[in-house]
């Protein structure tokens, strides 16, 4: 088993890059989601005053999302390289597809939210009267907390399955991914009250990335010791 793990890590040409990409993605998405969640009122349909008072936080959160997406793409690519020929085609397809779908939904919801914030500063009365405000926020919330979060959960399940099959990360870490993914997929009932559950995704990615980075430096130290 130990020899198989060494072969997996030897196949990875840039484990440090994968870990750093995962850490960057996790931190950026956590910051963006926290800023967004602390800015949202109890009832989005009441009025638009919260958009004015929290405008800076919202804009910062939205501007962080594209960079988080770039880091996530890089993370997915290097994780596949990390698995190498040990990669299972079925789970790899689900892994890749769910990751891309999650990212697409995240970008669409972010773009729609940014559009509403921009229009609220130009024609706030028309935005409410036309129904664009209510429709836009309902669509953005549904996309993020009904569909994107479930794709994130599927990504975690497929990733955990790949990691268990290859032994690339500890088994408990993969099982934790299953548990958090199940909560994200099956416990989403009331959008405004369970938004914090979304943070399970970047937190788990952060955990996996830190482990990969730690293993990279351990292997590097072992190689240096053998050379001496």
In this predicted structure, the answer to whether residue 131 has a pLDDT above a threshold of 60 is yes
- Which whole number is the average pLDDT over 122-132? 71
Q: Which residues contact 12 (CB under 8 A, 6 or more apart)?
A: 18, 78, 81, 82, 84
Residue 5 has pLDDT above 70, yes or no: no
The contacts found for 129-134 with CB under 8 angstroms, 24 or more apart, are: 133/48, 134/45
Closest by CA to 64, choosing from 102, 26, 90, is 26
pLDDT tens-digit map of 146-170? 899 999 999 999 989 888 887 778 8
Q: Is the pLDDT of residue 121 over 50?
A: yes
Q: How many domains does the chain have?
A: 1
The helix (H) or strand (E) run that includes residue 223 is helix 200-227
Higher pLDDT, 58 or 119: 58
pLDDT per position as a tens digit, 54-105:
788 888 999 999 999 999 998 888 777 766 666 667 777 888 899 999 999 9
pTM of the predicted protein model: 0.82
Provide mean pLDDT across the span 131-153.
86
73 is written with which tokens?
Answer: 């793409």
CA distances from 26 to 122, 165, 199 (A): 33, 24, 9
Residue pair 18/82 in contact (Cβ under 8 Å)? The answer is yes
**Structural domain span for residue 155:** 2-227
Considering only residues 176 and 75, tell me which one the structure prediction assigns the higher pLDDT.
176
Between CA 174 and CA 191 the distance in angstroms is: 27
- What's the start-to-end Cα distance of the chain, in Å? 26
């Amino acid at each position: 088993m130990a020899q198989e793990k060494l072969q997996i890590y030897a196949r990875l040409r840039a484990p440090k890059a994968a870990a750093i990409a995962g850490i960057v993605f996790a931190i950026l998405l956590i910051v963006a989601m926290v800023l967004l969640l602390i800015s949202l009122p109890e009832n989005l349909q009441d009025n638009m005053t919260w958009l004015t008072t929290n405008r800076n936080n919202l804009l910062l959160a939205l501007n962080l999302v594209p960079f988080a997406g770039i880091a996530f793409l890089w993370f997915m690519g290097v994780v596949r390289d990390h698995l190498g020929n040990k990669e299972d085609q079925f789970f790899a397809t689900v892994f890749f597809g769910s990751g891309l779908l999650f990212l697409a939904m995240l970008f669409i919801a972010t773009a729609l939210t940014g559009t509403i914030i921009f229009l609220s500063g130009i024609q706030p009365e028309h935005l409410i009267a036309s129904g664009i405000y209510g429709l836009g926020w309902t669509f953005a919330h549904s996309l993020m907390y009904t569909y994107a979060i479930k794709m994130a959960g599927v990504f975690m399940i497929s990733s955990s399955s790949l990691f268990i099959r290859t032994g690339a990360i500890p088994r408990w870490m993969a099982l934790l991914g299953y548990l958090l993914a199940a909560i994200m997929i099956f416990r989403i009932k009331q959008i405004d009250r369970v938004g914090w559950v979304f943070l399970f995704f970047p937190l788990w990615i952060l955990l996996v990335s830190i482990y990969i980075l730690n293993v990279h430096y351990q292997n590097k130290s072992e190689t240096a010791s053998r050379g001496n």
